[in-house]
């Protein structure tokens, strides 16, 4: 009889333990089964701090370095006609260069690397259309497709202009509303303008340079319907012409690594503002 009572009490204790779970009892210091200390809950302040430090976490940004350093060795390939949405045009071009031989392709790749690093530090996933890891290209239609397939939250194509001497300043190219052939920019026109305006403001604040004095009416914005990289994009996208390589004063800025870092910082600021507003 005593043995039966003891067994009944033991069974009842086991049921209580099972109901409470193995972690409900245990040592007085709160350690979990196996001697593992309890996990500390993240404090609201640490969570807020993490969000502030990585405001672009969960976002994808396409960075498109205009042209390719190897394009000049592959003129036949880059002259091949491809779909630009509303028409056909060359796969790509060699881009421009300063009078001292600093190429647009070298400039855009350098700025793209700086921009990538700044955005990655803020938590973004950055997709490059190329990293000089291919002999030429990609073609303009593929550049758009890479951003589309990545479902980028924002896409930025980095360039430098080749206008006449005496023309100075940056400008941001926005997609026009087109619906023809393979192009239908209607859904991205508004978001792309918001992205472009944000980048233009960030660029000016970071670099101290003025909007272009030869295009855009002093706004730093220009709308075009002839660029395949914009026409074929299904995600918000802009081109940033950081300055004019054919003007000696602009060329001196574009060739300066410290200024290029400011340019990348301005673009990153604009992208962050657009994606977190």
- Which residues on neighbouring strands pair with residue 157, listed in sequence order? 64, 239
Dist. CA 6–CA 258, nearest whole Å: 81
Those residues whose C-beta lies under 8 Å from the C-beta of residue 48, and which sit 6 or more positions away, are none
Taking only Cα atoms into account, the Rg of the chain, rounded to an integer number of angstroms, comes to 28
Dist. CA 113–CA 121, nearest whole Å: 12
Dist. CA 67–CA 157, nearest whole Å: 10
Alpha helices in 54-185 (DSSP H): 75-78, 104-121, 140-150
Dist. CA 221–CA 209, nearest whole Å: 14
Per annotation, catalytic residue among 90, 180, 197, 241 = 241
Name the helix (H) or strand (E) containing 49.
Answer: helix 44-53
Q: Which of 89, 121, 66, 72 is nearest to 243 (CA)?
A: 66
Beta strand 154-161 with 179-180 is unpaired
How open is the CA angle 46-47-48, to the nearest 5 degrees?
90
Q: Exposed e or buried b for every residue in 139-177, given b needs 16+ CB within 10 A?
A: bbbbbbbbbbebebbbbbbbbbbbbeeebbbbbbbbbbe
Instruction: Tell me if residue 90 is catalytic.
Output: no
Residues with catalytic function: 241
């Amino acid at each position: 009889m005593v043995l039966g009572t003891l067994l009944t009490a033991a069974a009842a204790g086991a049921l209580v333990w099972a109901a409470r779970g193995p972690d409900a009892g245990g040592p007085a210091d709160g350690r979990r089964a196996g001697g593992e200390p309890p996990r500390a809950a993240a404090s609201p302040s640490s969570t807020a701090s993490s969000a502030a430090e990585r405001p672009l976490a969960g976002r994808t940004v396409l960075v498109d370095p205009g042209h390719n350093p190897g394009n000049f060795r592959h003129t036949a390939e880059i002259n091949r006609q491809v779909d630009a949405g509303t028409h056909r045009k060359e796969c790509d071009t060699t881009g421009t260069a300063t009078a001292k031989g600093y190429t647009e392709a070298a400039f855009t790749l350098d700025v793209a690397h700086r921009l990538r690093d700044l955005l990655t530090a803020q938590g973004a996933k950055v997709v490059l259309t190329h990293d000089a890891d291919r002999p030429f290209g990609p073609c303009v239609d593929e550049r758009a497709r890479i951003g589309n397939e990545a479902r980028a939250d924002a896409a930025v194509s980095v360039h430098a202009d080749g206008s006449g001497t005496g023309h100075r300043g940056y400008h941001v190219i926005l997609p026009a509303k087109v619906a023809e052939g393979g192009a239908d920019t209607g859904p991205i026109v508004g978001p792309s303008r918001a992205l472009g305006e944000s980048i233009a403001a960030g660029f000016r604040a970071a670099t101290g340079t003025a909007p272009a004095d030869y295009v855009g009416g002093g706004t730093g914005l220009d709308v075009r319907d002839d660029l395949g990289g914009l026409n074929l994009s299904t995600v918000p996208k802009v081109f940033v012409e950081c300055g004019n390589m054919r003007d000696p004063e602009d060329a001196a800025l574009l060739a300066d690594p410290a200024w290029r870092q400011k340019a990348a910082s301005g673009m990153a600021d604009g992208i962050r503002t657009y994606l977190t507003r």
